[in-house]
Every structure is written in structure tokens, then in C-alpha cells.
Structure 1
Amino acid sequence: MKASDFKPAEWPRKLRSQEWYGGTSRDAIYHRGWMKNQGYPHDVFDGRPVIGILNTWADLTPCNGHLRELAEKVKAGVWEAGGLPVEVPVFSASENTFRPTAMMFRNLAAMAVEEAMRGQPMDGAVLLVGCDKTTPSLLMGAASVDMPSIVVTGGPMLNGYFRGERVGSGTHLWKFSEAVKAGEMTQEEFMEAEQSMSRSSGTCNTMGTASTMASMAEALGMALSGNAAIPAVDSRRRVMAMESGRRIVDMVKEDLKPSDVLTREAFENAIRTNGAIGGSTNAVVHLLAIAGRVGVDLTLDDWDRCGRDVATIVNLMPSGKYLMEEFYYAGGLPVVLKRLLDAGQLNAEALTVSGTAIGDEVRDVVNHNEDVILPVEKALTPQGGIAVLKGNLAPKGAVLKPSAATPELLTHRGRAVVFEDIDDYKARIADEDLDIDETCVMVLKNCGPKGYPGMAEVGNMGLPPKVLRKGITDMIRISDARMSGTAYGTVILHTSPEAAAGGPLAVVRSGDMIEVDVPNRRLHLDISEAELAERLTAWEAKHEQAASGYLWLHQTHVEGADTGADLDFLKGRRGSYVAKDSH
């Protein structure tokens, strides 16, 4: 929706929460009476907006460990604006701890959030998020309910330093781990560096998935301008939380809903923004899933079309050299959006949760450091975005992040070295007799949404130690898995259909030749059509199918990465209507 087309609803009007709290019926007294045991006076139930603060805080989600403090600032803003804030803990899919992978629980979290919103007396919601899957899962749930909602992210942690070098959380984990394998760093030094990787509250300080999704929320218009980059421990993060608490009350009064903001134009803005920031490949599956919930027909082709000609101008790890702290000081995401605006690559009239057009929000911002947010002529790569490759090896597509890849490997033909699953990879990768060199193409199967299960971040396979010792730091790797947003390399991911669903990846054999042509968006298994058809006919599924529980539900109903890996029965908006009270 264009900002100029949005017409706020008339106020006052009867709110959804009054179905619970309004009037003098037995049911209303039941609901109000129980709430009063917390010390609320009677007049807070008089028709003021009830705002659910959906908090993904958990001790086992360390990226979100400070969100209870942030929630208090949101509450203060809601109270000040004349609303009633109610904090609601929701499912928190921690990237750090959940097994087999947090991605398997993104959809479960989204389903739980949706029902928590629909089934309780809320008129609007503040989505308090941070860790990778918490942002998309809450956005998916809010999109399905279509209740006025605003995103507040917890912010990135401060820069890490080890022996004078900036340390990016995640990025240096991979870098130092490979250095140990190559004999360039001792295990003791690696352990010493551990303390510098996460030295304050907050999410990853690189342009990993958490910071990418915070940027996506802002580019979509679902967060206030400037939200994405403020460090977690900066006092301005708390100011942002309080201002968002104020704003959600007005959004309820205006009846400004996710469906008004999450339009095709908004998703195109987010895709182009992802290219400009060198964002995580994980944004692909998350934005496709969010679009599916709100009813926007977004495809992989849109990712390639919108992002292909966008230059990567944010000089942050893993693509560049700085971290999120410098990005904020340089001006943050508003500066990037202004660059897109000036280049004619931003849908300037797209509506945001502020009630104004996104172009108007960023038109006058200033870049305070052109080594962090680069001029276009000094871009990290002139064509950033996400490259979508197709061919007989990936009929429904695979993705690659050009800004994190080695340019010389973007056109390559090599011999496949196949690992049937992640356990096979772990068992063989360090074997000095493994028939592999730097010209080969590493292929990992059965790590997609059904196969892992859950599509884990194992696609950025570490290189064989004997190759690392030659000083080689990158090889082409292909899988149906994901990779961490903090990772880097010439890594082809999300290959669809996945191996566990009988996609062509399932029948690749060691010794096959594979052609990669990123400029022409081609991924080809060099065997005849007849042989490929014969192999696929003979293929038999090897992954284990769960018999019950959420794992069964996930494996049975999860869709492919090419459409967002959501559960098929959760697509689309279902609204906020809930059946009448039966008390």
C-alpha cells in the first residue's frame, strides 16, 4: 500500500479486547476480575487498547537475554500513550541451543505466536525479537493474524577484539576453526579468542542472520526507522523500545495492520536492501515464508530480478571488514535505504508502521562514514543480492551470496566429491586418503527441510585439512542445507527439490562433473538426460521418517526451500476472529 492511500480508522471505536473485558456480563467480570489480582484499577479496562508485548526472552536464547529489560521500556511507552501493556512470553527458537536445528522450530514458533495473539485479548502487538528465527517466526504469526504489530529488535552486541583484531561473532568462529585445522593457530589461542567473541548482550555483531532480519523488518516497514543497527547496550535501544510502545497504541487506533505494510512493494524493498547490506541467504527462506502468510506471491525469481543489479555497499563481516557497531555510527540502515532511493531502487511510497512513506523517512539522512557504508563506485561487489541458480541439478532453484564468494570460482567446472549426509561428511572430511583437491566440488545431501530434518546451517562445510594446509581457503560447496549468515565462501545452498524429496541432488555421484556458471545463473550436472532420469527412477528415500510428534508434523507438511519451507497448512491469513466466550 502507498502511504498516501492509507486512511486511518475513526477513533474511538469498539476494540477487540472488549469482547473479553467490556460490559457487566458474567464473562466480562470473570476476565476482568482475574486480571485485577495483579493490581490493575478498573478504568484500565474501559476501552483503552490492550497491547501484547510478545517477548522471546529466554535464558537459553542468549541473544535475547536482555529483552525483559527492554520490555519494561515498551510498557512505559504503551502506558504513556494510553494503552494497557501485557507482557506475553512466547516460543523462543534459540539458534545457539536447539537441536537438530532452530530452523525446524521456526514454523512451530510461528504457529504458537499466531494462536497466542488470536486467542487472547490483544488489540495490537509489539514483537520483541532478536535471535535469528525469532524475528521471522513472530512476523509470520503476526501476518497470519493481521493484527496491528510493530517489531522491536534487541540489537547487536558490541565489537569483539582479539590481539588487536576485530572479532566478528560467528565469522571468526569459522575463520579461527579453519586456522586451527591448517596449523596456523593453536587450540589454546582459539580458546583464548572465545572470550572476545561475545562480550556484551545482543545478537551477532556481524551482518549475520539476526542483523539481516532486523534490517529486513525495517526495510519492510515493520519497525521504526533506525531500529535495526542500534547496539543492544546503547541507551538509544531503550529509547527505540519506548517510542515503539507509544507508536503501537496509535497504530491500533488507526487500525494499521501488517497487510497494509507487507505489500509486494515492501518485499521488493527488502530484497534490494538485502543485496545492499550483503545480507544472509537465510533471508530468502524467511521472506518467502512471511510473504506466503500475508498472501503476497513472492518467488525465487523475484529475488534474482530485484537484487541482481544492487551493489553491496555495506562493508561489514562476513563480506567486508567492519561490524554492526560501526554500521550504526555511520548512520545505519536509513543511509542504505537513502542510497537505494537515490538510485531509483526503492519503492519510496511504501507505507511503514510510522504511518508515513519509507522514502520520506530516509530522504534527508547523512552518511557519517563512507568506509563503512561505501559509495556505489567503491562497492564490495557491483552485483550483490542473492544469485538464484537453476539447471538440471536444481530445477526449482538454489541460492548463492556473491558478496561472500571468491570471484574466480563463480564460473567453474569440477569433479563432485559426495557426502550422503552430515555424518558422512564428518566421518570422512579429515581423512588424508580422501580423493579431493581444491578443484573439486563438495556436495552434501539430505540436509534440507525434510532430510536433516529442519534444514540446518551445515552448507558451509569446512574444507579438508589437507587442502587448507596448501593455503586454500575456499572451494565450491553445494547442498540442500542453509549456512549461517556469519559464514562466507562460494557456497551454493537451498538446492531444490531437496535430496530427501527425490530431487536431482539425491543422485549425484562422486566423480560426476558439475558446472557452475553464476553470471548465467546455471547449475548443471554433466550427465545425459536419460542417465539422470534412470538414476531418479532407481532412487529410494534413505532419510528416517518420524512416527509421531512435531517432527512427524514437520516432515509431513514442510514445503521446499524454494517457497520458504513453511508448513503447507499455515499459508495465508486467518485473521483475528476467535469464537465467543463459553464461561
Structure 2
Amino acid sequence: MNLEFVSRLTSSDRDPSRLRSARWFAPDDMRSFGHRSRLKGMGFDDVDFKDRPVVAILNTWSELNTCHSHFKNRADEVRRGILQAGGFPVEVPVMSLGEMLMKPTTMLYRNLLAMEVEEVLRCHPIDAAVLMGGCDKTVPAMLMGAISADIPSIFFPAGPMLKARWKNVTLGSGSDAWKYWDERLAGNLCDKDWKGIENCIGRSAGTCMTMGTASTMACVTEAMGMSLPGAACTPSVVADHSRLATLTGRHAVEMAWANWKPSDILDEKSIDNGVMTSLAIGGSTNAIVHLIAIAGRLEQTLTLERFDELSQTTPVLADIRPGGQFLMEDFFDAGGLPALLNRMQDLLHADSKTVLGGTLGEQVADCDVIDDQVIRTRENPVSEAGGTCVLRGNLAPSGCVIKALAANPDLLSHRGPAVVFDNYPDMKARIHDPELDVTSDSVIILRSAGPLGAPGFPEWGMLPIPKKLLQEGIRDMVRISDARMSGTSYGTCVLHIAPESAAGGPLALVRTGDMIEIDVPKRRIHWDVDEDEAARRKAEIKLPDVVPPRGYGQLYAKHVTQADVGCDFDFLTGRSPGEEPGIH
């Protein structure tokens, strides 16, 4: 891959007076005197910043974010690249969203980080930014903020952790945690072995080594042209990742001189490329919500129908867990995302622009697949189409999704009686009750788990299978909720029911014993109740008060949109209006 910036900047392009930061530092006035003198108060001299692009390193490092635990070192390596290219690096911490340790969910705070990124970029003397993220919601949040601010930006992903081993088994974080927990509940795994798995399943820094939401969104970001080629799959702790950090810093300086903004890179075709990539890698269902929100920041409309349309024509080529066999380290060794994109160039908009200044087609043209087992040929796909599907019907008038690739094929057409849980505590209290009236034919339903009801749209969608069924050997059944599901999860789980129950959607009206039907090939979900009965139940039901009395939670509840339109705040779509912040 040729990673040289292809804009071919001339000396006239490197005119310091054209830099955005020059408005802060160049004038001979009292205000600029203050700006310069305060930098000097931190130990910088004129040679550090005069006539140089200011490149911000937006770092989401935190000691409570396990995926980003190596970002202290990577920030220094990004800084090295910025200095090599003649820029002035400034590290700016922004909110860290660590999926594993935040409750109820980092999704509650995705829009808060997006707001912070947008405002940080707008209010500071920044000519370009390196966006350091990786853990699930940091990726879309940082992209959303950078798009709205529309200041030159390049994304640097945390990278997946290394493959883990337990005894003679290769472990995949997330997916195998669920798998072995079920085996423990079924009585097939002792406490000693469970502890052994706990001690080794997170082998290194970095994001989940399966095709969870983090790797899905990193791949989507690369396919949309917002990170360097190969960045999405490079493992977090190998030397290649350190070199990638330095190279990203160097390119950020070039982007600053060229004023190469997100609006110069991203458009409707870029969004399509992101969708098709998510489908081809067997990516997380969460990508749907995030891509819709990203499209909204571009003032584009991505509908569920468009996603499903592309789903029916895009083959799944990456054989990666949870929908396949391999892990992200194997994907990297097999040629990574550039090789996969080369294999599906005819489906993509190859003329879309990238951070390198050229086109996506040029970027992947010479990238070959090394292992056809991990990255399948077009003649031997994991699935010819439909890795993720959109369903509609009277239970989900605005749509819902299912990752068919990770489901039991025998359950993709199924009809059974509902077993309803009103909320997560109700489910936790009753799901393993030996007296619960449930069979393998039942359809487990959880409500009050959506953007408003939970709140925050948590990853509760891989609903647990009752212990008594696990002990009978059952490992999958139809489960439906207005929640999301971790990208590392699997099973026949229907998600993102919209409108959600807390917003008055039909899910709020379902009762235990009602017959529910899903038909994935026909893209249908149906609640078997007549209209009069549904109307009677709706007249009787009282929806919960979901607006907290104060703070960010109140802002969130009043302004978050539903799953089918991206769960962004209704006042944040599009780019920042008006002029740049004035200098007074």
C-alpha cells in the first residue's frame, strides 16, 4: 500500500497565514500576545509553534477503559509523527467511554462525547486532529463530532487485542464469555475452569478480538476513508501499531496544510461503503444505529430500507467470530480489511475519497488476500447475502434488526408463545425460576430496554436462556427486545424494536402467551393480536416517566431519537452552523 499523501502539496500550499490557528497566534495584538505568552508559560518557545500546524491529539485514554490502556504510549508515538512532519502537537483529553466498566451503558454517553469532540475542535486553535478511539462508542462519537466541526481529522483505532488461549482452546472475548457462562449454568464447567478463563480471556490491551462493535466500527471508518489503510485490523500491541500511530501523526500535518476536511472525504457513497463493509465482515448490528447517526451529521439520510437493500446483495466474506470461525488477529494476518475491500471492489464506490487524498479503489488496488479461509472468495462466501437483516411488522412498525449470520438457521422462521419480562430486574429475578412456564419454542421478550426505557439503549439483547433449558441442552431460542446486543454476542436475537416500549411502541402491549412470529427470509415480524384488542390494551396502559429530574440524563431523555433514526440528539444533526468562533 502506498501511504503517501497524494495531494502533492507545493510550497505555496504551506502558507502559514492560511492555517486556522494563525487567527490565534499570528496577529500583532493584545489578544494574540496573551495566547503566545501562555504557551511560553508552559515552556514552549516560538520555534515550537510559530508558522506550524497545530495538531490536536484527542485522546480517550482512561484507567477505567480497558480497551485504551495502551493509549498513553500511542499518544506519544502520534506526537512523534506530528513533530517529524513539522507540526505542533497538543494532547487534549476527551471523555473516555469504556464499555466494560460503565453502567448502564456507554451508549447513554455517545452523544455527550460527540458534543465534546465538536466543541473542543471548534473552540481551540486546532488545524487538524488525530482522533484516538476504539472501544465501541468512542468511534462513532468522535466521527460524529469531527464531521459536525468539519476540521481536518483522521481516526486512529485502538486495535484488537491478541488472541487468547485457555488450555488447548483459542478464546474470543465476549463470545466465549457468553458460551462458557451458559456451560457453567448448565453444570458443565467447574469454578476452577471458570476462573481460569477469567484470568486469560483478556490477553492484552485493545478492543475485543472478535468482530464486535469496536472492530466493526474501525473497519467501517477505514472503508469510509477516515483512517489509514490497514488501521482497523492492526493488533493493538504489535510494532505495526506503533508505526501506524506515528504515520497517522505525520498525515495529520499534511491534512492540516491541505485543509482536507471530513466534508472533502465523506458523502452518501462513503456511507454506502461503510454499510457494505459492515455486512461483508459480518459486523455488529450496532453499526446500523451508528451509521444512521453519522449519516445524519453529514445531512444524509440512511434508512433501514437502504441497509436491508444492500444486505441482500452483499456477501459475507470475513469468516470471523461471532458469525464465523476466526479472530481479528487472523484477519490481520490474512491481509486485513484492504484485502477484503479489494475482493469486493465491484460492489463498492471505489471513487470515494480517503484521508490520503486519493480514492478507495487506488488505496486497495494492490492488496492481496493471503488466506482464503479467513477472507473468503466471492465463489465461496460465508453467506451469499443477508448477514444482518431488517424486519418489519405490527410489533415493530419502524423496524428492527437481527444478525441472521449469528443465529440458529432453524429459528429464522419461527412461531411461539411470548414469555414477557417488563424490565431487566424483572428478567433477572425470574428467568432462571424452575417454575417459569417456558419451553424451547417460547419467544422471550424484554421491554423497557430501549433508548428511553433503560435508559441509554444498553446491550441487553442477548437475553439469557433459562437455566432449566440449558440443562436440557438448549443453546438458542428466539429472543426479542428493544435493546441492543453486543457485537460479540450471538443467537436468534431480534433487536432495536422501534418504536421502543417506553415510547408507546407495540412491545409495551404484549402479554405472556401472545403468539409471536418471525420470518427472516420474508423480513417479517408479527404479533398475533387483533386490532381491537391492541387498542384496548393501549388505552389501559400507563407509560413510565422516563425524564430524570436534572442533568445530562434529562437532556438525553428530552432529545434522543429512536433506534431507527440513529439515537442522536434531535438538535445535533448536520454540521456546526454559523461562523467560526471569533477572537476578541
- TM > 0.5: yes
Tell me the distance in 2 between the aligned counterparts of 1:553 and 1:535. Answer: 30
Tell me the distance in 2 between the aligned counterparts of 1:78 and 1:11. Answer: 15
The aligned residue for residue 558 of structure 2 is: 556
* Superposition deviation, residue 311 in structure 1: 1.6
The aligned residue for residue 295 of structure 1 is: 299
Contact 2:122 2:581 in 1 (8 A): no
Which amino acid counterpart does residue 227 of structure 1 have in structure 2?
A
The aligned residue for residue 159 of structure 2 is: 155
SS of the residue 2:295 aligns to? helix
**CA RMSD, aligned part only?**
1.6
Contact 2:60 2:133 in 1 (8 A): yes
Tell me the distance in 2 between the aligned counterparts of 1:84 and 1:7. Answer: 21
The aligned residue for residue 384 of structure 1 is: 386
Superposed CA deviations along residues 86-109 of structure 1, whole A, max 9, x for unmatched, are 010001111011111111011111
The aligned residue for residue 206 of structure 1 is: 210
1:179 lines up with 2:168 in the alignment: no
The aligned residue for residue 521 of structure 1 is: 523
Which of residues 243, 246, 263 is equivalent to 1:242? 246
1:256 lines up with 2:266 in the alignment: no
The aligned residue for residue 440 of structure 1 is: 442
* Superposition deviation, residue 16 in structure 1: 1.3
Contact 1:147 1:576 in 2 (8 A): no
Tell me the distance in 2 between the aligned counterparts of 1:172 and 1:465. Answer: 18
* Superposition deviation, residue 472 in structure 1: 1.2
Tell me the distance in 1 between the aligned counterparts of 2:539 and 2:97. Answer: 38
Cα–Cα, structure 1 residues 576 and 255, in superposed 2: closer, same or farther, change >3 Å?
farther
Tell me the distance in 2 between the aligned counterparts of 1:74 and 1:6. Answer: 21
* Superposition deviation, residue 153 in structure 1: 0.5
SS of the residue 1:348 aligns to? coil
* Superposition deviation, residue 192 in structure 1: 1.1
Contact 1:278 1:384 in 2 (8 A): no
Contact 2:546 2:557 in 1 (8 A): no
* Superposition deviation, residue 578 in structure 1: 3.8
Tell me the distance in 2 between the aligned counterparts of 1:400 and 1:339. Answer: 26
SS of the residue 1:126 aligns to? strand
Superposed CA deviations along residues 260-289 of structure 1, whole A, max 9, x for unmatched, are 222111111111111111101111111111
Which of residues 339, 342, 359 is equivalent to 1:357? 359
Which amino acid counterpart does residue 307 of structure 1 have in structure 2?
S
* Superposition deviation, residue 534 in structure 1: 2.6
Tell me the distance in 2 between the aligned counterparts of 1:396 and 1:6. Answer: 44
SS of the residue 2:571 aligns to? helix
Which amino acid counterpart does residue 227 of structure 2 have in structure 1?
A
The aligned residue for residue 3 of structure 2 is: none
The aligned residue for residue 498 of structure 1 is: 500
Which amino acid counterpart does residue 106 of structure 2 have in structure 1?
A
SS of the residue 2:344 aligns to? helix
1:81 lines up with 2:85 in the alignment: yes
TM-score normalised by L of structure 1: 0.96
Tell me the distance in 2 between the aligned counterparts of 1:507 and 1:430. Answer: 24
* Superposition deviation, residue 434 in structure 1: 0.5
Superposed CA deviations along residues 521-575 of structure 1, whole A, max 9, x for unmatched, are 1111111122223322332112543111111111111100101101111111006
Tell me the distance in 2 between the aligned counterparts of 1:295 and 1:544. Answer: 29
TM-score normalised by L of structure 2: 0.96
The aligned residue for residue 222 of structure 1 is: 226
The aligned residue for residue 432 of structure 2 is: 430
Contact 2:452 2:546 in 1 (8 A): no
Which amino acid counterpart does residue 152 of structure 1 have in structure 2?
F
The aligned residue for residue 340 of structure 1 is: 344
The aligned residue for residue 322 of structure 1 is: 326
Between 572-581 and 23-32, report the one with greater CA deviation: 572-581
Q: Could you list the runs of 5+ residues in structure 1 that have no partner in the other structure?
A: none
Contact 1:276 1:384 in 2 (8 A): no
- Runs of 4 or more above 3 Å deviation: 5-11, 575-579
Tell me the distance in 2 between the aligned counterparts of 1:50 and 1:538. Answer: 60
Which amino acid counterpart does residue 256 of structure 1 have in structure 2?
W
Tell me the distance in 2 between the aligned counterparts of 1:145 and 1:88. Answer: 16
Which amino acid counterpart does residue 477 of structure 2 have in structure 1?
M
Q: Could you list the runs of 5+ residues in structure 2 that have no partner in the other structure?
A: 1-5
Which of residues 80, 87, 96 is equivalent to 2:100? 96
SS of the residue 2:229 aligns to? coil
* Superposition deviation, residue 500 in structure 1: 0.3
The number of equivalent residue pairs is: 576
SS of the residue 1:496 aligns to? coil
Structure-to-structure mapping, 1:9-158, within 5 angstroms: 10-12=13-15, 13-158=17-162
Tell me the distance in 2 between the aligned counterparts of 1:324 and 1:501. Answer: 38
* Superposition deviation, residue 328 in structure 1: 0.4
Structure-to-structure mapping, 1:474-489, within 5 angstroms: 474-489=476-491
Which of residues 387, 401, 404 is equivalent to 2:403? 401
Cα–Cα, structure 1 residues 32 and 284, in superposed 2: closer, same or farther, change >3 Å?
same
* Superposition deviation, residue 378 in structure 1: 2.8
Tell me the distance in 2 between the aligned counterparts of 1:225 and 1:165. Answer: 31
* Superposition deviation, residue 39 in structure 1: 2.5
Tell me the distance in 2 between the aligned counterparts of 1:259 and 1:6. Answer: 16
Structure-to-structure mapping, 1:404-415, within 5 angstroms: 404-415=406-417
Structure-to-structure mapping, 1:506-517, within 5 angstroms: 506-517=508-519
Superposed CA deviations along residues 27-70 of structure 1, whole A, max 9, x for unmatched, are 11111111112332213333321111100000000100111111
The aligned residue for residue 192 of structure 2 is: 188
